[in-house]
Amino acid sequence: MEALLSLRGLSIAFGGLRAVQDVSLEVARSSLTALIGPNGAGKTTLFALMSGFLKPDAGQVVFDGQDITGRAPHLNARAGMTRTFQIVQPFAAQTVRENIAVGAHLHIAGRSAALAEAERVAVRVGLGDRLDQPAADLTVAGRKRLELARALATRPRLLLLDEVLAGLNPQEVGEMIPVVRAIVDDAAGQGITVLMIEHVMQAVMNLASHVWVLAQGELIAQGTPAEVTNDERVIEAYLGHGTAARLRGAGA
Partner 1 sequence: MKDMIRIVLFAVVVLLATAWLESGVWLTFIMMTLYATLLAQAWNMLGGFGGQFSFGHALFFGTGAYVQAIAQLQGGFNPWLALCAAVLVSAGVGAAVGALTFRYGLKGSYFALVTLAFAEVFRIVAVSVGFTGGGVGLMLPLSESAANMQFASRKGYITLVLGFVLAALAVTAWLRRSRFGAQLQAVRDNEDAARALGVDPWRTKLGAITLSGAFMGAAGAFYLQVFQYIDPAIAFGPQVSVEALVGAIVGGMGTLWGPVLGALVLHLLAELTRNLFGALPGINLVIYGAVLVLIVMFLPRGMAGLLDRWKRS
Residues that bind partner 1 (CB under 8 A): 51, 53, 72-74, 77-78, 82-85, 89-94, 98, 101-103, 105-106, 108-111, 114, 150-151, 153-154
Q: What's the min distance (Å) between Cβ of 127 and partner 1? A: 16
Q: How far is CA 138 from the centre of its chain?
A: 21
Residue 145: is it exposed, middle or buried by C-beta count within 10 angstroms (0-12/13-18/19+)?
Answer: buried
> Between residues 22 and 98, which has the closer beta carbon with respect to partner 1?
98
Could you give the CA distance from residue 243 to residue 5 in angstroms, rounded to a whole number? 34
Q: What's the min distance (Å) between Cβ of 88 and partner 1? A: 9
Comparing C-alpha atoms, which of 163, 207, 159, 161 is closest to residue 181? 207
> Between residues 110 and 240, which has the closer beta carbon with respect to partner 1?
110
Q: What's the min distance (Å) between Cβ of 110 and partner 1? A: 8
Contact 170, 7 (CB under 8 A): no
Residue type, position 48, single letter = A
Quick count: other Cβ atoms within 10 Å of Cβ 58?
A: 14
Q: What's the min distance (Å) between Cβ of 73 and partner 1? A: 4
Q: What's the min distance (Å) between Cβ of 150 and partner 1? A: 6
> Between residues 21 and 44, which has the closer beta carbon with respect to partner 1?
44
Could you give the CA distance from residue 189 to residue 112 in angstroms, rounded to a whole number? 27
> Between residues 21 and 69, which has the closer beta carbon with respect to partner 1?
69
> Between residues 21 and 76, which has the closer beta carbon with respect to partner 1?
76
Quick count: other Cβ atoms within 10 Å of Cβ 201?
A: 14
